[in-house]
């Protein structure tokens, strides 16, 4: 159970963004308070109202001109855990290199909470040396990676790159929070 725990869900711009809505729902069902940051690209795949309705909180998207003066530090401190699902190759690359170019990456750099990354992308992108190098850096930095699974991808291709099942992501979130 995640009663009373503050989970910040980052959603980036991949086809699997629609599955993040189900993940948000599962986290809420477990008793967590969930807030969502979407990247601009994520909004091309799924609407922010979906997450607002599921979590009961407005979706955060902007570093500037948001509802608070310093949304990235506020959200970073609010979170007991940050989970990014799906995490694009772009997000992995930016985080691995310490780039803070939007609200999500600024928050990821500003938080001291555990970070769970659930990558999802086409097999070629996942297996690219740059992505694998970034994944190695992120693991060495202490981030927890879940998946990707191997299976059918958007467009009918089959291989590694599929978003881990939401239940598997929730299980990792629970395990990390149980262990403090």
| Calpha distance 148→128 (Å, rounded) | 14
Q: Closer to ligand FMN by CB, 121 or 173: give it.
A: 121
Cα diameter, the chain = 45
9 near ligand FMN, rule: CB under 6 A: no
Q: Closer to ligand FMN by CB, 30 or 128: give it.
A: 128
| Calpha distance 33→43 (Å, rounded) | 22
Q: Closer to ligand FMN by CB, 80 or 147: give it.
A: 147
42 near ligand FMN, rule: CB under 6 A: yes
The SS3 call for residue 170 is helix
Query: For residues 139-168, which are near ligand FMN according to CB under 6 A?
Result: none
Taking the complex as a whole, the smallest distance from the CB of residue 148 to ligand FMN amounts, in Å, to: 10
Taking the complex as a whole, the smallest distance from the CB of residue 92 to ligand FMN amounts, in Å, to: 8
Taking the complex as a whole, the smallest distance from the CB of residue 41 to ligand FMN amounts, in Å, to: 3
Among 10, 13, 148, 166, binds ligand FMN (CB under 6 A): 13
From the list 13-21, 22-30, 70-78, 110-118, the region that binds ligand FMN by CB under 6 A is 13-21
39 near ligand FMN, rule: CB under 6 A: yes
CA angle 18, 168, 100 (to 5 degrees): 60
The SS3 call for residue 47 is coil
Per DSSP, 153 falls in state -
DSSP track, 16-66: THHHHHHHHHHHHHTT-EEEEEE-TTGGGTS-HHHHHHHHSSPPB--SSSS
Query: For residues 84-123, which are near ligand FMN according to CB under 6 A?
Result: 88-91, 120-121
The SS3 call for residue 72 is helix
- The residue among 120, 105, 146, 130 whose CA lies nearest residue 10 is 105
Which residues in this chain contact ligand FMN in the complex, by CB under 6 A?
12-16, 39, 41-42, 88-91, 120-121, 125
């Amino acid at each position: 159970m995640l009663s009373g725990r503050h989970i910040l869900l980052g959603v980036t711009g991949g086809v699997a963004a629609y599955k993040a809505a189900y993940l948000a729902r599962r986290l809420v069902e477990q008793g967590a308070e969930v807030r969502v940051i979407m990247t601009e690209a994520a909004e091309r795949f799924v609407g922010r109202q979906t997450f607002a309705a599921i979590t009961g909180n407005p979706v955060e998207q902007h570093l500037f001109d948001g509802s608070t003066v310093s949304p990235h530090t506020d959200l970073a401190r609010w979170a007991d855990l940050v989970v990014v699902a799906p995490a694009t190759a772009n997000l992995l690359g930016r985080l691995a290199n310490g780039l803070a170019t939007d609200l999500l990456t600024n928050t990821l750099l500003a938080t001291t909470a555990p970070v769970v990354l659930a990558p999802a992308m086409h097999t070629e992108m996942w297996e690219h040396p740059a992505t694998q190098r970034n994944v190695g850096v992120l693991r060495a930095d202490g981030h927890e990676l879940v998946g990707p699974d191997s299976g059918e991808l958007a467009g009918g291709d089959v291989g590694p790159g599929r978003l881990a099942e939401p239940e598997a992501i929730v299980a990792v979130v629970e395990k990390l929070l149980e262990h403090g």
